[in-house]
Amino acid sequence: MRATFMYGPGDVRVENVPDPKIVEATDAIVRITMACVCGSDLHPYHPMDKTDEGAPMGHEFLGVVEETGSAVTGLKRGDFVVSPFAFADNTCPIRRDGFHTACPHGGWYGAGGVGGAQADGTLVKLPAEVDKSLLPSLLALSDAYLTGYHAAHMGRVEAGKTVTVIGDGAVGLSAVLASRRMGAEKIILMGRHTSRTDLGKQWGATDVVAERGEEGIAKVMDLTGGEGSHVVLEAVGLMPAYEQAYGVVRPGGVISRVGVPQYEEAPVGFGSLFGKNASLTGGPAPVRAYLEPAIADVLAGRIDPGRVFDAEVSLAQVADAYKALDDRTNLKVVVRP
């Protein structure tokens, strides 16, 4: 089979690798029919040290089950499935708390992770016959949309709240869509790529702030009558975004971070969180916890998160997709075999 590897800064290659085999009785082998490049895949794109082995990439996909281990009972060959970006057994106490990404029997796909899965607990079966126009939206459920949803959920977005979303990538725009569905009264989107913020406005953003830093903070404070935002959803993961978040959060408000942090320390003292009695939450989205109702929403036409995809490439062209996302030519790219 073919797989994507990153060997160093900007060095993305597609290579032939041995076909997968069932290792554990709980495993499944899935033939990928649709995948995509995630914003987090770009984090090592520039700073990664060169390596001779290469790091496996990718963690969002739809596919068809080709083989299952002897302990798998809920899936069979030929089933069409969607997978969250992390695998879990879906039975442990951590799962019952709703945090599948912290499952002690789970792990991560792609770079730094492994390729196996707790198939019954991870993969979710889709209807055999799905309108092809809905496939991008179903793919978006594997990470982007439900990560944005997780940000809003952890931030306790509800009717009457003012929400500020920092970041106009696929996750940030998804957080706008989720916040609208949760009833937010005012949604301020901080982003400066017009093609993206235009989609954000279609999905419910009431205001767009293109300014950054202190100027951006001042603009949000002006839009909120000097009070700040009840909820801030940070979908970038860089320190300037976090600084904007605590700059605009309302006293007693909540900052929910889902952008993978590219820093080790974040201020929580008097000048950031403590002085405002502000709360900090968020983390890796337990996509598996949200999949079934989200699938129903897509199939019923209540949400259309697949609109974040604005390009499509073959697997052989995946390096071009990484470059397009890196230079902001595209928002999110579908990858087909």
Per-residue pLDDT of 272-288, as tens digits, reads 999 999 999 999 999 99
The answer to whether 10 touches 315, Cβ cutoff 8 Å, is no
Amino acid letter, 271 = G
pLDDT in tens, 222-246: 999 999 999 999 999 999 999 999 9
The answer to whether 179 touches 165, Cβ cutoff 8 Å, is yes
Instruction: Look up residue 306 and give its DSSP letter.
Output: G
Residue 261 CA: distances (Å) to CA of 9, 271, 283? 19, 20, 9
Superfamily for 147-282? NAD(P)-binding Rossmann-like Domain (3.40.50.720)
Torsion from C-alpha of 38, 178, 285, 315, nearest 10 degrees: -20
pLDDT, position 117:
57
The answer to whether 63 touches 110, Cβ cutoff 8 Å, is no
Q: Would strands 28-36 and 61-68 be described as parallel, antiparallel, or unpaired?
A: antiparallel
2-143+286-336: what CATH class?
Answer: alpha beta
pLDDT in tens, 16-32: 999 999 988 999 999 99
Q: Which residues in the chain are classed under CATH 3.90.180.10?
A: 2-143+286-336
pLDDT in tens, 195-232: 999 999 999 999 999 999 999 999 999 999 999 999 99
Sorting pLDDT into bands at 50, 70 and 90, what band is 110?
low
Tokens 């707790």 belong to 118
pLDDT, position 114:
46
Q: What is the pTM of this model?
A: 0.95
The answer to whether 310 touches 173, Cβ cutoff 8 Å, is no
Residue 332 CA: distances (Å) to CA of 16, 60, 308, 320, 326? 25, 12, 6, 12, 10
Q: What percentage of the chain reaches a pLDDT higher than 90?
A: 90
Amino acid letter, 327 = D
Cα separation, 145 vs 105, in Å, equals: 25
Phi, psi dihedrals of residue 74, rounded to the nearest 5°: -95, 0
Instruction: Look up residue 134 and give its DSSP letter.
Output: G
The CA-based diameter of the chain, rounded to the nearest angstrom, is: 61
Sorting pLDDT into bands at 50, 70 and 90, what band is 113?
very low
Q: Which residues in the chain are classed under CATH 3.40.50.720?
A: 147-282
Which residue from 62, 172, 136, 57 is spatially nearest to 312, judged by alpha carbons? 136
Average predicted confidence (pLDDT) for the chain: 95
Give yes or no for residue 112 having a pLDDT over 60.
no
Residue 216 token pair: 């951006």
Sorting pLDDT into bands at 50, 70 and 90, what band is 128?
confident
